[in-house]
A and B are shown apart, each in its own frame.
Chain A
Amino acid sequence: MSLLHIVTFSPFLLAIFVPFFYKYIRKVHTGWFVLPLPVLLFAYFTQFISTVSHGNTYEQSFKWIPSLGIDVRLYVDGLSLLFSLLITGIGSLVILYSIYYLSKTKEALNSFYVYLLLFMGAMLGVVLSDNVIVLYTFWELTSLSSFLLIGYWYQREKSRYGAQKSMLITVFGGLAMLGGFILLYIMSGTFSIREMVQNVGTIASHELFIPALILVLLGAFTKSAQFPFHIWLPDAMEAPTPVSAYLHSATMVKAGIYLLARLSPIFADTSVWFVTVSAVGITTLFWGSFSAVKQTDLKGILAFSTISQLGLIMSLIGVGSAALHYEFLGDNIYVVAITAAVFHLINHATFKGSLFMVVGIVDHETGTRDIRKLGGLMSFMPITFTIAIIGCFAMAGLPPFNGFLSKEMFFTGMVHVTKMDIYNMETWGVLFPVLAWIASVFTFVYSMVIVFKTFTGKYQPEKLAKKPHEAPIGMLVPPIILASLVILFGLFPNLLAHSIIEPAMASIMPALLDTGEKFYVHISFWHGWTPELFMTMGVIALGVLLFITVAKWSKLYSLFPQKLALNHFYDRGLSAIDKGSYSFMRLWMTGFLRDYLVYIFAFLIAIVLGTLFVKDAFSMKFDNLAPVGVYEAILIIAMIIAAFMTVLSKSRLTAIIALGMVGYSVALFFILFRAPDLALTQLVIETISTALFLLCFYHLPEMQRLPKKFKFRMNNFLISLGVGVTVTLVALSSHSTKLFDSITQYFVENSYTEAGGKNIVNVILVDFRGFDTLFEITVLGIAAFGIYAMIKLRLTRKESEE
């Protein structure tokens, strides 16, 4: 247990104490007790920056299940440090924000902070774990805590719907990912990611490589809300706004990106990876920004915006993998894509976090998030307005904010896809810059919608629930910090280049570096009259045009058929599964005993006969048979007649008598085959059971006493014929293939000398195999008590009813 472990598990430890703070210290908002932890953790992680930026890593291991090779090995390198800083840093800000956002008296703060701390710890575990099983454990814990947080207002139906949807989709992906991890383990023999990276040659040539790749990608795509799994994210907006800001913009949705970046060294060298990741990323980017424009809820816009920005990062990671094919570091243009991915990851966390907080403030101070009701808030909330402008302009990719820089680099990466001469990109590559550019135009439009529809235009006080006013200072501090970071990283991007981005890139693409070599990143504002710059100008020009005319063309969205929407497919699919399984169960769980017997016997026939023929086990030998005597022949005929009478008789009484006849014939058989004990017992038992049958017959209710005619049913006939044939064949075969002598001889020889008895049957029953007899008499006892209880209890119930 090292300090790093204590740090990772500290949120869980604190989560245990939160309810006590909540219960016993009611005067102070519980959030204040939570706040110091992420701040401390942030401080703790900053001390790694110097280690990591010099190309070193830090590792601590703690044995968990050593026999399975599962240990909690925590590993700090550029990538995990970047994520840890994001998680703890934005975590601190979100907790500060939530202290002012959530009411001390109205909300169940204890559960809120417990869930949030669970999430924070789980997220730290995901990014720091080196062991894939531990990573998976924390991964599912993030799904679970996210589920709890989305359903925080569980009395609302939409919250429950959103929570269930996100749970189903992310757990589906998580399980797929677990499958991928297990395949990786089969291929490499280790659960450790870094050891897998060392064995990458063996893994890449293995036949399970592609299945593992696809499964891992499923996990990453569902978690990071990529097309078509993005549908859970907009519904997750039912969560409290601090949760949306933290989980659904800055941290959890980036877990999928983290996973891809982390496993890039293993998978990135294949065309499947390149094509899938970049194509899904660019599709998501386009679809997310396209859908964001039609939203009227501010959080809805931000949700689709998050989807689209995640797609952007995803496509950059995909395109960046092409760098592995052009292996000279000097002017490798595809490395820029990785740089852009890491840089935009940071930028997105800053501006999207601040935008969610802004939306939260607007919601909190006006009572609505609907842009149709909002407008003219600029004079009421100047600070919020400023932050919104900074965040949105950064999101739209305008200078001098950090979004501009990462968007320029994004365009650079996309433009260079067209120049690629692998994977048929000569023909398809042109789609990438085109889709990226269109998506950027839409991004520009919805960013402007957020700012100008909310803060400028006509003020509509009659539609607002509250009189708007500026938020309290505590609510403003976190977005102010984030917005300052947006400007800071925009003006001085190289602050991050050396300390964070380079080490993170080194963890994503270690294969590009020789030992001792390092990436060199220098982000500059001005890089000449490049195509990217013209693209940005085009985006602004067309974006302004579209924003001004948005009211005219946004009706086009309603042309899109609702039936083809992915949500519709999801809902229909869910109810189809529900109804399908219900009707499937109703189809064969009929409630009739007769049907179940048909299934049981049909399966018996199919399995036993099938085995008999598949294994070619049927055999018939006649060399060891006893001669058939006259008495046996007569008895057989009598029994057959009796059996037919039982089945075909028209009255029950005949059937009972015929059954008795069968029973007495069996007793006679026992006599013929020299089994006197059996014959005695059979006689008495047959008498008793016939008497009991007659009793039952006598007590049948009046209505059904009419003797029913025997009804012929083809199904039943076939099934019973089948069972008879099966059993006969099996009996013949087993009789014909006796593999060893019976042990009878031992009993014959030893019954007198060992047990002092001459009746071998009785000696076996009470001495050699007395144990069986002991439990047979127990069974008899239980039967007697059962009958007694059934009859007596029925009587007492009747009495109590009267």
Chain B
Amino acid sequence: MKVNDLILQTVTKVVAFIILIFSIYLFWTGHYTPGGGFVGGLMASSALVLMLLAFDVKTIKNVIPFDYKMIIATGLFIAVATGLGSFVFDVPFLTHTFGHPHLPGLGEVSLATASLFDLGVYLVVVGVTMTIIQTIGESE
């Protein structure tokens, strides 16, 4: 039966972006306020799940042509690479540093290498959640 879920789809088109932005917000402010890569990643995947619910799997695959398994691998790679990067500076594995550079246009910002690691976490969480949901959704 073909269901007319126009409202859902329309709301999704708006809300998904809000959720995505919120997830990015959670991710970026994680070092200072509650949030971080894990919650951010879950939030981002919930936006994707919402889109999956409103549209069907094929459409979403066309719109977002990512292989989520590759995203898991990328995330793990970034996390390990930030750890390995500390060897370049002759310090123990996973040693992080931070600074408050003055960037043109943005003013003084706080940047920490820990955020790169958090980015890895973010990507892995998105990849894992989406892989599981997509795999289960596609079966039968």
Contacts from A to B (Cβ < 8 Å): 676-677, 680-681, 684-685, 688, 692, 695, 755-759, 761-763, 765-767, 770-771, 773-774, 777-778, 780-781, 783-785, 787-788, 791-792, 794-795
Contacts and interface: CB of A to CB of B under 8 A. Distances in A.
B34 A677 contact: yes
A677 B39 contact: yes
B139 interface: yes
Contacts of A692: 136
Contacts of A773: 79, 117, 121
B119 to A, nearest CB: 10
Given A781-B72, A784-B72, A784-B128, A762 B135 contact: no
B79 A791 contact: no
B96 A767 contact: yes
A56 B94 CA distance: 73
B112 A755 contact: yes
Given A755-B96, A755-B98, A757-B112, A778 B35 contact: no
A756 B46 contact: no
B76 interface: yes
A758 B33 contact: yes
A777 B30 contact: no
Contacts of B15: none
Interface string B21-58: 00000100011111111110011001000000000000
A762 B34 CA distance: 8
A778 B128 CA distance: 10
A681 B42 contact: yes
B32 A688 contact: no
B114 A774 contact: no
A763 B30 CA distance: 9
Nearest to B42: A684
Nearest to B73: A781
Nearest to B26: A680
Given A688-B42, A780-B72, A787-B136, 7 more contacts: A677-B35, A680-B26, A759-B36, A766-B114, A766-B118, A784-B131, A787-B131
Nearest to B122: A777
8 contacts: A755-B98, A755-B112, A756-B98, A761-B34, A765-B38, A766-B114, A781-B75, A781-B76
Interface residue SS majority, chain B: helix
Nearest to B111: A756
A128 B15 CA distance: 91
A780 to B, nearest CB: 5
Contacts of B135: 787-788, 791-792
A777 B42 CA distance: 13
A680 B35 contact: yes
B76 A770 contact: no
Contacts of B18: none
Contact of B124 (A688, A759, A781, A794): A781
A695 B72 CA distance: 24
A692 B132 CA distance: 10
A695 B136 contact: yes
A770 B131 contact: no
- 9 closest Cβ contacts across the A-B interface? A756-B98, A676-B34, A757-B31, A784-B128, A777-B124, A762-B36, A784-B131, A684-B42, A766-B114
A788 to B, nearest CB: 5
A759 B46 CA distance: 24
B58 to A, nearest CB: 17
B12 interface: no
A784 B83 contact: no
Contacts of A757: 31-32, 98, 112, 114
B69 A788 contact: yes
A794 B80 CA distance: 32
- Report the contact-size class of chain B (Cβ under 8 Å from the partner): 35 or more
A139 B131 CA distance: 63
Contacts of A759: 30-36
Nearest to A769: B94
A438 B66 CA distance: 97
B84 to A, nearest CB: 11
Nearest to B116: A766
B110 interface: yes
Contacts of A795: 139
A419 B37 CA distance: 97
Nearest to A770: B94
A788 B131 contact: yes
Contact of B83 (A680, A685, A761, A770): A770
A688 B132 CA distance: 11
Given A756-B110, A757-B114, A784 B132 contact: yes
B140 to A, nearest CB: 8
Nearest to B72: A781
A345 B132 CA distance: 80
Given A684-B42, A791-B139, A774 B80 contact: yes
A677 B36 contact: yes
Contacts of B120: 777
A502 B121 CA distance: 86
B38 A681 contact: yes
Contacts of B132: 783-784, 787-788
B71 to A, nearest CB: 10
Given A766-B117, A781-B72, A792-B135, A771 B125 contact: no
Nearest to A786: B132
A761 B114 CA distance: 13
B116 to A, nearest CB: 9
Given A778-B76, A792-B135, A771 B94 contact: yes
Interface string B126-140: 011101100110010
B87 interface: no
Given A757-B112, A770-B96, A784-B72, A777 B34 contact: no
B93 interface: yes
A181 B17 CA distance: 81
Contacts of B80: 774
Given A684-B42, A755-B96, A770-B96, A777 B35 contact: no
Contacts of B115: 766
B125 A780 contact: yes
Contacts of A763: 31, 114
Contacts of B125: 777, 780
A780 B98 CA distance: 28
Contacts of B39: 677, 680-681, 684
A748 to B, nearest CB: 15
B43 A684 contact: yes
B10 to A, nearest CB: 23
Contacts of B73: 781
